[in-house]
């Protein structure tokens, strides 16, 4: 019971500490390191920031972000205006290739199109996440990249070895299937280490998608 309470209180403290988060309407549940965030936040960036804050806490092994974005008055945009703003933001971002488009429905943005790298997909999400009126971002972007699975494995392993957050004695393994899908297995100590592994793998040449089977030991 004490450990459960400690993790919950630590997550609550981290949420309250982060100046980018209004934690007034957030409740935290914890069962043996599996943390759930419930309640509401006033913007989509705060939805993302709350999840990132919880992952920073020692002892959090799984995170379920059930927060709802409830926009304050004055932050709403009709679907036509939000669609236009989102597509303009995508066009201005030099990392996002031509052909990626956004469509809004009740504040929910859906991204479509094709990119060559996962980093370009992430850049598209980041380009629209902070727009006023966004309640959620759904990523339906396809990644198209033709690469030999053996070469992809080598790229991923090199990326993991370069990462300062992945220890030399890490037992993390990466297996590439046809089509550039990477499966990560092994153990990491913290969410920071977990995110470093996933990020390093996702940025490697030829990676289309990352399947995360990592275990966080806490």
CATH number of the domain within which 17 lies: 3.30.1340.30
* DSSP output for the chain: -HHHHHHHHHHHHHHHH-TT---TTEEEEEETTEEEEEEEESSHHHHHHHHHHHHTSTT--EEEE--EE-PPTT----HHHHHHHHHHHHHH-TTSPTT-EEEEETTEEEEE-EESSHHHHHHHHHHHHTSTT--EEEE--EE-----HHHHHHHHHHHHHH-TTS-TT---EEEEETTTEEEEEEEESSHHHHHHHHHHHHHSTT--EEEEEEEE--
Q: Which domain holds residue 163?
A: 149-216
Asked if residue 133 and residue 154 are part of one domain, the reply reads no
Asked if residue 47 and residue 32 are part of one domain, the reply reads yes
The pTM score is 0.76
| CB-side neighbour CA atoms (13 Å) of 143 | 23
Asked if residue 156 and residue 138 are part of one domain, the reply reads no
Domain contains 115: yes
Asked if residue 165 and residue 210 are part of one domain, the reply reads yes
Domain contains 163: yes
Q: CA 178, 137, 129, 103: dihedral to nearest 10 degrees? A: 100
Domain contains 51: yes
Task: State the CB neighbour count (10 A cutoff) for residue 21.
Answer: 22
As for how many domains the chain has, the answer is 3
Q: Choose one of 69, 96, 125: the last residue of a domain.
A: 69
Domain contains 126: yes
Q: What pLDDT is recorded for position 20? A: 94
Asked if residue 83 and residue 42 are part of one domain, the reply reads no
Distance (Å, rounded) from C-alpha 30 to C-alpha 32?
Answer: 6
Asked if residue 56 and residue 89 are part of one domain, the reply reads no
Domain contains 41: yes
Q: What pLDDT is recorded for position 150? A: 66
Asked if residue 154 and residue 139 are part of one domain, the reply reads no
Q: Choose one of 112, 143, 174: the last residue of a domain.
A: 143
Asked if residue 212 and residue 153 are part of one domain, the reply reads yes
Domain contains 74: no
Distances (CA, A) of 117 to 103, 113, 143, 144, 194: 21, 12, 6, 8, 20
Q: Choose one of 50, 69, 88: the last residue of a domain.
A: 69
Using the structure block, give the residue that is written with the tokens 């046809």: 178
Asked if residue 10 and residue 32 are part of one domain, the reply reads yes
Q: What pLDDT is recorded for position 135? A: 95
Q: What pLDDT is recorded for position 149? A: 63
Residues 23 and 50: beta-carbon distance below 8 Å: yes
Asked if residue 137 and residue 155 are part of one domain, the reply reads no
Asked if residue 180 and residue 137 are part of one domain, the reply reads no
Distance (Å, rounded) from C-alpha 49 to C-alpha 199?
Answer: 17
Q: What pLDDT is recorded for position 11? A: 96
Asked if residue 64 and residue 8 are part of one domain, the reply reads yes
Using the structure block, give the residue that is written with the tokens 């030099």: 94
Distance (Å, rounded) from C-alpha 156 to C-alpha 111?
Answer: 26
Averaged over successive runs of 10 residues, the pLDDT of the chain (218 residues) comes to 75 95 96 94 96 92 94 89 97 95 96 88 94 95 71 75 78 78 87 85 76 86
Q: What pLDDT is recorded for position 44? A: 96
């Amino acid at each position: 019971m004490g450990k459960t309470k400690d993790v919950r209180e630590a997550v609550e403290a981290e949420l309250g500490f982060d100046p980018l988060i209004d934690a007034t309407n957030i409740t935290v549940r914890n069962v043996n390191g599996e943390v759930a965030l419930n309640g509401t936040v006033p913007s989509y960036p705060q939805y993302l920031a709350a999840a990132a804050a919880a992952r920073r806490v020692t002892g959090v092994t799984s995170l379920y972000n059930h927060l709802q974005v409830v926009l304050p008055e004055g932050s709403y945009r009709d679907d036509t205006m939000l669609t236009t703003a989102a597509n303009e933001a995508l066009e201005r971002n030099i990392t996002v290739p031509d052909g990626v488009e956004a469509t809004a429905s009740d504040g929910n943005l859906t991204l479509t199109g094709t990119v060559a790298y996962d980093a370009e997909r992430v850049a598209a999400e980041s380009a629209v996440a902070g727009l006023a009126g966004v309640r959620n971002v759904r990523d339906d972007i396809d990644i198209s990249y033709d690469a030999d699975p053996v070469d992809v494995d080598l790229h991923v392993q090199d990326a993991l070895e370069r990462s300062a957050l992945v220890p030399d004695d890490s037992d993390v393994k990466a297996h590439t299937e046809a089509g550039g899908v990477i499966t990560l297995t092994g153990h990491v100590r913290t969410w920071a280490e977990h995110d470093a592994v996933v990020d390093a793998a996702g940025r490697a040449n030829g990676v289309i998608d990352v399947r995360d089977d990592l275990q966080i030991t806490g």
